[in-house]
Amino acid sequence: MSEPVITSDELAALEQSGEAIVVVDVSGSIRLMNEAAQKTFGVQSEDVVGESHELLVPEGLQWGHQAYRRGYFAEPSPRWMDPGLDPHGQRPDGSLVPVSVWLEPRRLEGSLIVVAHVSERTGSAVEHIGAAEGR
């Protein structure tokens, strides 16, 4: 599959989006975190850009998440992060935020990245995704 290229204009639009967006490269480094995502995760962009996105994953799940990330980048496709895992993000204070995450592979400057569209949710991830898809 050939991933669509993201333009600088599209990247700027993601940065300004009201939707929480985190852009991650193949190594797992955060390339962009917009203001909405900063609010969701309780961090400042300048503190996390260039750092591993695993810092947003609950402790104890980070090692396994690395394997999921490698698997995703080996076979990238637009899809929801597995709702059966009941995903949560972790804030610096250790509190957890339930999230649903739509993963969208793209190319930036020739390199594969993933644009993660993050939504805070109530209820289960399966219910949230069903509502998002209009079921």
* Regions of the chain where pLDDT drops below 70: 1, 62-63, 83, 123-135
- Residue 127's contacts (CB-CB under 8 Å, 6 or more residues apart) are none
pLDDT at position 98: 92
Answer whether residue 73 is part of any domain: yes
pLDDT at position 17: 95
Answer whether residue 33 is part of any domain: yes
Q: Give residue 68's domain range.
A: 8-132
pLDDT at position 63: 67
Say what the pTM is: 0.86
Answer whether residue 1 is part of any domain: no
Answer whether residue 3 is part of any domain: no
- How many domains does the chain divide into? 1
Answer whether residue 36 is part of any domain: yes
**How many residues are there in the chain?**
135
DSSP 8-class letter at 84: G
Answer whether residue 110 is part of any domain: yes
CATH code: domain of residue 95: 3.30.450.20
DSSP 8-class letter at 112: E
Answer whether residue 79 is part of any domain: yes
Task: Give yes or no for a contact between 30 and 50, defined as CB atoms under 8 angstroms apart.
Answer: yes
Answer whether residue 86 is part of any domain: yes
In the numeric block, the tokens 């569209």 are attached to 117
